[in-house]
Each structure stands twice: as structure tokens, then as C-alpha cells.
Structure 1
């Protein structure tokens, strides 16, 4: 069981890191539209970023529980 927990923790950590990188990439996509008439795009991208941040935090919480 210890090996399974370690494997799960490692996999969750990798996924959390990837979600964090995607969050950063998504956030950067809003930059060209900030201050333009496309507030709809900025809002949608920022909402996606918030959701990815929430997923990243949830994964980090799961890692702490497995460890």
C-alpha cells in the first residue's frame, strides 16, 4: 500500500505541476485583449485561469492527504 500511495502522490504532483503551467499559459492569452473592446474574451480567459487555479489547489490538497 505504501508504494501505491507514493505512486499516487507522485502522479498527483506531476498533474498539479502541469495544471499550473497551463494556468500560466492561459493567463498569458488574455494580455493582448486587455484594454480593448474584447472584455468578453478577457473575462472568459480569466475565468478559465481561476478554474485551473482551483484545480491546482485541489490537487495540492489531495497530495497532502496522500502523503
Structure 2
């Protein structure tokens, strides 16, 4: 087993989490990051068109549009 994998397993154990929990948390982080960039850069297209924020773990695509 590589040193990197050993370190990762150690971090998971010390944080009392499993890989699935870390993956879900990372997906949320990516979603929030994408949404904040869209909002801060005012990327939302006019005329009711939508922009994709991201795709969740369930396969759901999240879109944002100007109201």
C-alpha cells in the first residue's frame, strides 16, 4: 500500500469519518464553490435562460436562472 493511501486512511480514522462521508462533503463544497462564482461574477444569463451549477451525487442537475 502506498504512503499516500496509508496517510488518507489515517486521516479518515482520526476524523472518525468514512470515505463516503468525505465524498459527500466534497461534492457540497464543489457545489457551493460553483454557485458562489456564478453569483459573484454575475454569470446568470438574462431572459430566463439557465446556467448549470453542478450535478449532485444522485444525478440531479442543479440550474440557476434570473428571476
TM-score band (shorter)? 0.3 to 0.5
Larger strand share, 1 or 2: 2
Larger helix share, 1 or 2: 1
Structure of higher RCO (CA pairs closer than 8 Å, 6+ residues apart): 1
Which has the larger Rg? 2
